[in-house]
Amino acid sequence: MKKTLFVLSLFIIIINVFTPVERLTAIPAEPGKYQEWLDQAKAIMEEQPEKAMTLIRDALMIIDENDDPLAASKAYFLLGEVYYYLDELDETIANYQKAVDINVASGNDMTPEHINLLGNLGYMYDVLDQKLIALDYYEKALKIAREIGQKDEIAANLANISQLKTIQGYYEEALVDMEEALVIDRESGDESVIATDLNTIGRVYESVGMYDKAIDYLEQALEIDRRLNMEDKMAIRYNSLGLAYKGWGKYDKALEYFEKALQIDRDLKKEEKIALRQANIGSTYMEMQEPDKAILFLEEGAGYFLKKQLPSYCATTLNDLGRCYLQKKDYEKAEKSFLQSAEISRKNGLQRFLMNSLDYLSRLYRESGQYQKAFIALSEFVMLKDSVFNEESQKKVAEFNAKYKLDQKQQENELLRKDHALSQKRHIVVILIFSLSALLLVILLLALLVRLKGNQNRRLFAEKENEKLKMVIEQRNRELTYNALCIIKNNETVAKMAETIEEAIESGKDPSNLNHLVRKLQHIERDKNWNEFEIRFTKTHQVFYDTLNARFPDLTPNEKKICAFLKLNMSTKDIASITHQSVHSLNVARTRLRRKLGIDQTDENLVNFLSSL
């Protein structure tokens, strides 16, 4: 085996001896010419993207990737930028990736330009809602930025990663990343960036219901914008504060900040922002049970959104408008608003907004005694919800597969970079072989064998990593199969109940029985939601569940459910809303729970006691 490798290595060296001669006799392209074209393309790409594309393609025809990889990488990057201005994101990604591949293969992947490329790729996948792949690129950019000490890129990528982690629900990790980004940006002294960081941290705290901390950070951001006299940013901060106070249930303060934001946007004549602020004010009045005031603002906002054809804003505002009319018992106008929102949602593929419209319609029809319509709306709601779940699950599987292929591509790039470096070293070895003694030749050949063995080990490692990725995908598929079986079972139940209701309608039975069946259908949906919640909660808080079951085995399933919500520090009002129980019933249940937990004769706080388990 060793003799074979020795002969093979010698053969490779002899062949490569002639390669440098060919490259020395080749006539290289004139760098100044294609660099000039690339610079021209960069200057005009936003206003004249087609002309810029022609200049870049002309440059690529004469650029040799091996002789000038930096120019080739720059050309593909600029071509990606041109496609971005043409709104062709797939082509943008393809050309960015080509530039990345060239940098990796040529060893130019530890530069600010390469970090920017990775960040741009992360942003593209973020826009396409492929969050896992976006996060992967941001983390790669962050890793290189840390290695070369590029602080501005460290902070920028930390902020991007934090926003994705907030969307995924990893709030603690998101806060850690943003706090580090804030420290770096404070060192740089750019106050506008610092204000943006503070605003982002505030919104993360708002997402977890820590409204006092959220407001503290948002007010710090507002103070900086005031000092810099940035009125457009001040309006954004006022609106963020309004949303935080609204989520906190402090509606008077929310209205105060929404009004300030509205006044600034009116002064700046930003029509879309004005409509958004009006919608926020209207929804706040709706939460305050003041539908007449709410309708005035919501109708103005909805009118603008309809005129400018902004479907998502239209659907949301019309749903809020319908809820206001429902509060006033004006069922005709409420139905009209909900149906209009549903029509816009269907036309524009806004399935989650359509789900809201169907849910509100079901409530309206039940309240107004139109039980058959209520059943139809609720059935469509349940079917749509299952459909959305399936689509999102399939999307996640596709994203996992895409990430798996991307990881394979990156591993190939890594091997390509190492092979490229090895190829360059082989050429050096060739020159040395014919100028040194036979003993030196043997030593160099042994070194080559060691390197080949190293490449083999790296390939084996890459194969093991691929197997791990396959196992992750298979586990996801098993989870999806289980969820699909649950959906089938629920659909069978819904179908049977539908047959029962149709028979009841045809036989002219008491409508109250139909209402009972509709509520039973709702219970099925709530039970399914609780089962999904319990599975995820148990995975996250396994120690808590084990301790609770071990120390208090006599707890009923409902009491364990209340313990889970209290562990998450949810209020009695929120628990009542989720479980559809009265606040009084929950207070009685909490008293009984304290007795079973053995703290009824103490001043121990129930939430603190559960948090300590």
Give 522's pLDDT tier (boundaries 50, 70, 90).
low
Is pLDDT above 60 for 121? yes
Q: CB 176: neighbour CB atoms within 10 A?
A: 14
Distance CA 375, CA 174 (A): 42
Is pLDDT above 50 for 36? yes
Burial-class residue 189 by CB neighbours within 10 Å (0-12, 13-18, 19+).
exposed
* CA distance to 5, 361, 382, 456, per residue, from 336 (Å): 81, 10, 22, 68
**pLDDT digits over 259-303, tens only?**
999 999 999 999 999 999 999 999 999 999 999 999 999 999 999
Is pLDDT above 60 for 20? no
Cβ partners under 8 Å of residue 75, min gap 6:
34, 38, 56, 59, 60, 63
Beta strands in 325-371, from DSSP E residues, in sequence order: none
* Segment 584-611 mean pLDDT: 89
In a domain, 440, yes or no: yes
Cβ partners under 8 Å of residue 68, min gap 6:
29, 31
Only one residue has tokens 């409204």, namely 211
Cβ pair 388, 352 in contact under 8 A: yes
Of 520, 537, 554, which closes a domain?
A: 537
Q: Residue 558 is inside which H or E element, if any?
A: helix 557-567
b (16+ CB within 10 A) / e for 346-383: eebebeebbbbbbbbbbbbbbebebbebbbbbbbbbbe
The beta-carbon contacts of 285-293 under 8 Å, at least 24 apart in sequence, are: 285/255, 286/320, 286/323, 286/324, 286/327, 287/246, 287/251, 288/251, 289/327, 291/324, 291/325, 291/327, 291/328, 292/328
- Which of 137, 209, 267, 210 lies closest to 238, judged by CA? 267
In a domain, 533, yes or no: yes
Q: Are residues 384 and 533 in the same domain?
A: yes
Of 537, 569, 587, which closes a domain?
A: 537
In a domain, 151, yes or no: no
Q: Are residues 523 and 376 in the same domain?
A: yes
In a domain, 273, yes or no: no
- Which of 586, 609, 588 lies closest to 599, judged by CA? 609
Instruction: Specify the number of domains making up the chain.
Output: 2
Determine if the pTM surpasses 0.85: no
Residue that wins the pLDDT comparison between 579 and 59:
59
Q: Are residues 429 and 572 in the same domain?
A: no
In a domain, 573, yes or no: yes
Q: Are residues 496 and 586 in the same domain?
A: no
Most confident of 129-138, 217-226, 412-421, 516-525: 217-226
Which residue type occupies 25?
Answer: T
Is pLDDT above 50 for 15? no
Q: Are residues 546 and 518 in the same domain?
A: no
Q: Are residues 462 and 583 in the same domain?
A: no
Residue 561 has a pLDDT of 87
Domain that holds residue 398: 1-28+369-537
In a domain, 576, yes or no: yes
Q: Are residues 492 and 579 in the same domain?
A: no
Q: Are residues 546 and 423 in the same domain?
A: no
The radius of gyration computed from the CA coordinates of the chain, to the nearest angstrom, equals 32
Q: Are residues 376 and 519 in the same domain?
A: yes
Give 219's pLDDT tier (boundaries 50, 70, 90).
very high
**pLDDT digits over 529-569, tens only?**
566 666 767 767 788 888 988 999 998 988 888 898 888 88
In a domain, 526, yes or no: yes
Of 487, 522, 537, which closes a domain?
A: 537
Q: Are residues 522 and 545 in the same domain?
A: no
Q: Are residues 383 and 510 in the same domain?
A: yes
Q: Are residues 531 and 409 in the same domain?
A: yes
Average pLDDT, the chain: 81
Within 13 Å of residue 294, how many CA atoms lie on the same side as its CB? 24
